[in-house]
A and B are shown apart, each in its own frame.
Chain A
């Protein structure tokens, strides 16, 4: 199923959820040519924000991605509070809600390395390329080697683009 990035970003923004776009979607925003199928966000773990994110996604049938249908998954503030990272499928596509990321930490830890992006009339925070590379490196997954190489090449090309 295609992930509807504009709609997901719109509902989170309209609900005033505190979040930062990270992962493949952030890479796309910054100019990566790689394809991604989900929206990865780091969200603030404050009780108010958890309340907002639960209410915002509730109408879109959030469910654990890859889990067999019919499991007693309760999309609630308590579930989010008791967990940390959630890989979800929704009627708008796949979304990963991350309370923390390797090499990056929490929402508040990342705030020093974000920029604002604007798309489809929405303004939201996106992790900067340098920090994105550092988080991918910290994850230490062999499958990310090519991704890191592309992001580092992108960093070099961005510097040239901005200088020209």
Chain B
């Protein structure tokens, strides 16, 4: 892994962005199977769609 990582030179801009990454989520994901990770992704897609629907309704209610 170290050898592979060395193929990726450090970029100060990316390093700055990296400080804001929530690594607890990554650690949790690494404990899951690939299938469980996709199950979570599809649940998130459902949730995002529901949020969009709620947002649209709020916008429409404000206009009417």
| A interface with B by C-beta (< 8 Å) | 2-3, 5-6, 28-29, 31-33, 35-37, 117-120, 128, 130, 133-134, 137, 145-146, 148-150, 152-159, 161-162
B13 / chain A contacts, CB cutoff of 8 Å:
145
Do B8 and A152 touch (CB < 8 A)? Answer: yes
**Most interface-central of B2, B11, B21 (chain A CB within 10 A):** B21
Chain B, residues 21-41, CB within 8 Å of chain A (1/0): the string is 111011101101111011001
| B interface with A by C-beta (< 8 Å) | 1-2, 4-5, 7-8, 11, 13-15, 17-18, 20-23, 25-27, 29-30, 32-35, 37-38, 41-42, 44-46, 48-49
Q: Say which residue of B14, B26, B49 sits within 8 Å of A31 (CB atoms).
A: B26
B35 / chain A contacts, CB cutoff of 8 Å:
118-120
Contacts known (A28-B37, A119-B38, A159-B2); A149 close to B45, Cβ less than 8 A:
no
Contacts known (A119-B38, A145-B14); A130 close to B7, Cβ less than 8 A:
yes
**Most interface-central of B26, B33, B45 (chain A CB within 10 A):** B26
Q: How far is the CA of A150 from the CA of B23 in the complex (A)?
A: 8
Contacts known (A31-B26, A119-B35); A130 close to B4, Cβ less than 8 A:
yes
Q: Say which residue of A3, A33, A118, A145 sits within 8 Å of B26 (CB atoms).
A: A33
Q: How far is the CB of A128 from chain B (nearest CB, A)?
A: 8
Besides A29-B34, A118-B35, A130-B4, 7 more A-B contacts (Cβ < 8 Å) are A28-B37, A33-B26, A35-B45, A118-B34, A130-B7, A137-B8, A161-B30
